[in-house]
Structure 1
Amino acid sequence: MNRTVLFIHGAWLTPAIWNHFKGRFSACGYTCLAPPWPSLRSQSGAVLPGARPAPLGLARIIDHYASIVEGLPYAPLLVGHGVGGLVVQLLLDRGLGTAGIAIAPIPPRGVQRSALAFNLLPLLLNGGVWAHKAEMTFEYFATKVAQRLSSYEQCAAYRRHIVAAPRRILYETLLGIRCSVDFSNDQRAPLLLIVGEKDHVIRASLVEAIYNHHHQSIAPTSFECFADRSHWLIAEPGWEEVADYLIEWSQTQSGRF
């Protein structure tokens, strides 16, 4: 039985954010792939430390991961966080992937996003609205993204994981550009939506709204909110419980060991 999982990181992050999950999934027999966004590659294909991306749009990111999926011998499980969670939904809508897990995802077009716009506005304004890249300040990271970490853990995580993000991605996701999915697509593969109760970036109520929109189809859709977890739930203490839940859910979709 094929057990391949494709991890898709979000904005301001690199594939290194998936290291914990890759170890957990690998221990359960999965082949793990975590390729970076196109703009985060060096000529050798490695992620550049402190990468400063050139202008990059959502369409190019989606096509990038679609080509990876189409090049695999078997359809993979798709797992994404933030913008990566939106990409998972868009790929599933294209008929790609055997199942998808969207963690604290950006909503597709058609889901009310005013609260999201308010939460992301400081990032959009930081550095000037016409700059190609958007930086995440340490203050934003510590208070909005990873507020459950200790001060020392926040500093270490910020240095290790946070990079500049293409500002164009912010505009497109906030305005719903190239973010449309067919919520009535009955042929879509199973989708699991995950969020942390204490997520100050992607509120639990927003992910629940995404879940309700996907229920316009008969395609299997599940929703799980993890108590006392932040937007950093894939790397903060207790990440094991989240990873194990994802593995358990994926096995119910593709059969047990």
Structure 2
Amino acid sequence: MTNIVFIHGLWVAHTAWQPWIDYVAEHGHDAIAPAWPGELPTVEETRQNASAQAGFGIDELTAHFADVLARFDTPPVVIGHSFGGLIAQKLLGENKAAAAIAIDPAPIKGVTGLPLAQLRSAFPVLGNPLNRGRAKGLTRAQWRYGFGNAVSQEESDALWEQWSIPSPGKPLFEAAGANLHRHSPAAVDTANATRGPLLITAGSADHTVPRATAEAAHRLYRSDAVTDFHEFEGRGHSLTIDHGWREVADDALAWLARQGIAEAV
């Protein structure tokens, strides 16, 4: 049995990982998906209490999940999506995880030249400096551009209705200004040769984290530790929650098996 900790990103509830938790359990693994600090048990509760998440940044999020990982007898695998992928990389770089899969991860420090689509996806938050101290959600149209552009309008709207939540703006501002600060919380130890294996993925149609951004993060790694890259053709940022999520899950489990960490699907 492999222990797995799932970490979600901005604007998606932690409960959206439940199909993954059930699926990996069918393959003999035990998984959890903790909420972010301030996130409430249900989507509706979180929507009604957005301010509870306001002000939490990358350092606070990383410390929160480091505490979760410390409860295991041995370091678990961490699978993160979007900002969860950035946090997964930080935890792996600190040798707190056995392995990490960063699915379309938010940019770490050192990634430059963000594509226009990524800037447009982030603009609903970054467009107002006051949002740094707030928690903000996406409108149906903003979600369609940032998450649901590779699925039908009907599916995008359904995903927005089912899983979208407000999230803190602070991590987005921290990542956007990472290269301006020597000790940015978005920095990852990319030179750590003693860490476990890492897989970074990209969706070729992703607007929120375009392939170029994920590839740029992959190129920053400079050690001999396993650092793999995989592209999901035609997939957008909703790839962990839309109708094709099992393909992503199967690839994740297959990669873990190749690392000798989990049995093959």
TM-score by length of 1: 0.91
Counting only pairs closer than 5 Å after superposition, residues 89-168 of structure 1 correspond to structure 2 as: 89-115=89-115, 116-125=118-127, 129=131, 132-168=134-170
Question: Where does structure 1 differ by over 6 angstroms across 4 or more consecutive aligned residues?
Answer: none
Structure 1 counterpart of 2:14:
15
Structure 1 counterpart of 2:181:
none
The answer to whether the 8 A contact 2:76-2:98 is kept is: yes
Distance 1:255 1:68 in 2: 21
SS in 2 for 1:38: coil
Which residue identity is paired with 1:58?
Answer: I
Structure 2 counterpart of 1:202:
209
Distance 2:123 2:107 in 1: 16
Counting only pairs closer than 5 Å after superposition, residues 1-257 of structure 1 correspond to structure 2 as: 2-41=1-40, 48-50=45-47, 51-52=49-50, 53-115=53-115, 116-125=118-127, 129=131, 132-176=134-178, 177-214=184-221, 216-253=222-259, 254=261, 256=263
Unaligned runs of 5+ in 1: none
Deviation at 1:55, TM superposition (A): 1.7
Deviation at 1:185, TM superposition (A): 1.1
Distance 1:166 1:222 in 2: 30
SS in 2 for 1:85: helix
Deviation at 1:124, TM superposition (A): 2.2
Distance 2:135 2:46 in 1: 16
Distance 1:181 1:69 in 2: 18
Q: In the superposition, relative to structure 1, how do residues 172 and 130 fare at CA in structure 2: closer, same or farther (>3 Å)?
A: closer
Unaligned runs of 5+ in 2: 179-183
Deviation at 1:22, TM superposition (A): 1.5
Distance 2:165 2:104 in 1: 19
Which residue identity is paired with 1:54?
Answer: A
Which residue identity is paired with 1:19?
Answer: Q
The answer to whether the 8 A contact 2:121-2:145 is kept is: no
Q: In the superposition, relative to structure 1, how do residues 159 and 212 fare at CA in structure 2: closer, same or farther (>3 Å)?
A: same
Deviation at 1:119, TM superposition (A): 3.6
TM-score by length of 2: 0.88
Distance 2:125 2:154 in 1: 23
Which residue identity is paired with 1:137?
Answer: T
Distance 1:179 1:240 in 2: 29
Which residue identity is paired with 1:237?
Answer: H
CA RMSD of aligned residues (A): 1.9
SS in 2 for 1:102: strand
CA deviation string 1:137-171 (max 9, x = no partner): 21111122112332332222111111111111211
The answer to whether the 8 A contact 1:93-1:185 is kept is: yes
The answer to whether the 8 A contact 1:113-1:174 is kept is: no
The answer to whether the 8 A contact 1:126-1:134 is kept is: no
Which residue identity is paired with 2:4?
Answer: V
Distance 1:20 1:174 in 2: 31
Distance 2:149 2:262 in 1: 37
SS in 2 for 1:5: strand
Distance 1:63 1:156 in 2: 33
Distance 2:103 2:77 in 1: 13
Between 177-186 and 64-73, report the one with greater CA deviation.
Answer: 177-186
Count residues in correspondence: 252
